[in-house]
Structure 1
């Protein structure tokens, strides 16, 4: 693969921000992707909307925000995985996601079928 690791990580981050802006109407303030062996890990900062920030100050609201984001992620999991597959040319075997309402961050982890890190130039 003629890609550098840093360039591919940046492209994945950018693609996720674009997708989330189209999906939710706004994207995270920051996204950083890390390729580690057969894992693609993306950390999103500043993911909560203004309304969600108000809700997470209450116990029921925190649960509601986490559940809503979980449902959205499940609805669009194929699209998230397709972004990784299209950019890495690897098959996504599984993906995992979680959101921290305390930090306003979300993490995505994709397990792919190859040691992607070995395939890339530094």
Structure 2
């Protein structure tokens, strides 16, 4: 880890935007990363495609979009974890994801093998 907490959070946000554009053809409208103790939390705003926005207007469509996004997340989970490990120099113990079809946001939470926030504070 050769940078500040703020810089590392920005680097993670940029890396995820780039990967999502490569994998899915588009990225979120906005991404914010938070490093809190041993967690890296990413919040993606504006993630639904035009088609998904139409689908989520009814219950069966919401379920379909959630299921599709869950399958895609499982397909790409290794890629996501590799980005976090490369940027932080820490090992990812587990990761979790969810999407809100109501507001078009997605979150990713990565549990790290050490208190990354504390390590960054000690470096400063």
Q: TM-score range by the shorter chain?
A: over 0.9
Q: Which runs of 4+ in 1 moved over 3 A?
A: none
Give distance in 1, aligned partners of 2:38 and 2:100.
24
SS of the residue 1:47 aligns to = coil
Q: Paired residue for 2:35? A: 35
Q: TM-score by structure 1 length?
A: 0.97
- Partner residue in 2 for 1:95: 95
Root mean square deviation, CA, Å: 0.9
SS in 2 for 1:68: helix
The alignment's TM-score, normalised by the length of structure 2, stands at: 0.96
CA offset digits 1:22-74 (Å, max 9, x no partner): 11110000000000000000000000000000000011110000000000000
Q: Which residue of 1 aligns with 2:84?
A: 84
Unaligned ranges ≥5, structure 1: none
1:57-68 to 2 correspondence within 5 Å?
57-68=57-68
SS for the counterpart of 1:40 is strand
Q: CA deviation at 1:119?
A: 1.2
